[in-house]
């Protein structure tokens, strides 16, 4: 059985104690503000995942971390954290919640281990940087959503026709005898694709695989799963839409819409666990 020693006065002399407290406060501030922001449920979920991933990575190597810093790095880190504290305390609107974790991580790493020691935290910093990737990337920069929505409409229309629905397609619209739906760029699921890629990167960094083929396979499987789940989602919505408006709202913007993301992340996690087990069994 393990025992947990209580902190003593002598612990106050160690930097770990202060750094942990500071990190805890920053996470709490970020969590509170994100939780208060409306329409940020997916960002909140990813934030929690990121904080746990970073915490677990740090916890594993806490004994071997080198915690020496110089004056320049300490002052720069303190400056970064001071800016974050001022911004969040003043914030009336979103103070930049996507950048704050990365900036705070840099600040803490500089204070903890200096310019040279920051290399120890490259995994953590990449994971924190994932939060700074804008959700709109797929919609604006790589305009793939039009193509995706057309593709989804074609596949869903075909499958519904195949199983016996009376359906006709025109562009990205599906028509039923009693009504129709439009599959617009938000339905293309670009957000989900990016989300699954982010989850895949976190998994790869926290539980590294050694087989190069598997490492390449993971993001591809993540994308394929997200796309497949989106097909099922749109298909279900299309089948529901003509005669069940309440169910449509539930699965489209209600709690039901989150269930799809939940299920796809669970499936992806099982797949990843399978890969890890297989690698361990081989070695």
Stretch of 119-127, 160-168, 174-182, 240-248 contacting other proteins, by CB under 8 A: 119-127
The minimum distance between CB 33 and other proteins, in angstroms, equals 6
Stretch of 62-70, 127-135, 220-228, 239-247 contacting other proteins, by CB under 8 A: 62-70
Smallest CA-to-CA distance from 153 within 179, 189, 193 is with 189
Q: Does 117 bind other proteins (CB under 8 A)?
A: yes
The minimum distance between CB 282 and other proteins, in angstroms, equals 13
- Find out whether 102 and 47 touch, Cβ atoms under 8 Å: no
Q: Total binding residues for other proteins by CB under 8 A?
A: 49
In angstroms, what CA-CA distances link 250 with 180, 227, 259? 18, 21, 11
- Find out whether 186 and 237 touch, Cβ atoms under 8 Å: no
CA distance 25 to 85: 10
Q: Phi first, then psi: give them for residue 169, nearest 5 degrees.
A: -120, 140
50, 53, 54, 81: which one binds other proteins (CB under 8 A) = 81
Measured at the CA of 51, the angle between CA 46 and CA 57, to 5 degrees, comes to 125
Q: Does 68 bind other proteins (CB under 8 A)?
A: yes
- Find out whether 134 and 56 touch, Cβ atoms under 8 Å: no
Q: Which 28-57 residues touch other proteins, going by CB under 8 A?
A: 28-29, 32-33, 36, 57
72, 119, 168, 224: which one binds other proteins (CB under 8 A) = 119
Q: Does 232 bind other proteins (CB under 8 A)?
A: no
116, 166, 253, 269: which one binds other proteins (CB under 8 A) = 116
Length of the chain: 283
43, 161, 176, 207: which one binds other proteins (CB under 8 A) = 207
The minimum distance between CB 250 and other proteins, in angstroms, equals 26
Q: Does 273 bind other proteins (CB under 8 A)?
A: no
CA distance 192 to 112: 35
The minimum distance between CB 100 and other proteins, in angstroms, equals 11
- Find out whether 69 and 117 touch, Cβ atoms under 8 Å: yes
Continuous H helices in 164-211 = 190-206
In angstroms, what CA-CA distances link 149 with 34, 67, 218? 30, 50, 24
Q: Does 103 bind other proteins (CB under 8 A)?
A: no
Smallest CA-to-CA distance from 209 within 218, 220, 196 is with 218
Binding site residues, other proteins, CB under 8 A: 13, 15, 18-19, 21-22, 25-26, 28-29, 32-33, 36, 57, 60-61, 64, 66, 68-69, 71, 74-75, 78, 81-83, 85-93, 95, 111, 113-114, 116-117, 119-120, 123, 207-208, 210, 280
């Amino acid at each position: 059985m393990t025992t947990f020693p209580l902190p003593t006065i002598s612990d106050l002399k160690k930097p770990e104690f202060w750094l942990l407290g500071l990190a805890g406060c920053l996470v709490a501030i970020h969590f509170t503000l994100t939780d208060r922001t409306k329409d940020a449920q997916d960002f909140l979920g990813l934030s929690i995942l990121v904080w746990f991933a970073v915490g677990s990575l740090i916890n594993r190597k806490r004994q071997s971390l080198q915690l020496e810093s110089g004056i320049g790095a300490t002052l720069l880190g303190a400056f970064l954290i001071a800016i974050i504290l001022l911004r969040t305390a003043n914030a009336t609107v979103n103070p930049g919640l996507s950048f704050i974790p990365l900036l705070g991580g840099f600040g803490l790493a500089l204070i903890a281990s200096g310019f040279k020691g920051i290399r120890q935290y490259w995994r953590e910093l990449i994971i924190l940087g994932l939060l700074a990737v804008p959700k709109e990337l797929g919609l604006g920069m790589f305009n793939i959503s039009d193509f995706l929505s057309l593709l989804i409409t074609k596949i869903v229309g075909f499958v519904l026709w195949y199983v016996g629905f009376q359906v006709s397609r025109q562009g990205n619209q599906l028509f039923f005898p009693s009504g129709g739906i439009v599959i617009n760029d938000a339905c293309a699921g670009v957000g989900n694709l990016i989300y699954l890629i982010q989850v895949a990167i976190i998994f790869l960094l926290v539980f590294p695989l050694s087989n190069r083929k598997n490492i390449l396979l993971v993001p591809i499987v993540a994308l394929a799963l997200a796309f497949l789940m989106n097909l099922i989602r749109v298909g279900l919505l299309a089948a529901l839409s003509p005669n069940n408006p309440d169910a449509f709202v539930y699965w489209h913007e209600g709690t039901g819409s989150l269930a799809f993301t939940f299920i796809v992340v669970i499936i992806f996690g099982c797949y990843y666990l399978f890969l890890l087990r297989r690698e361990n069994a081989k070695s």
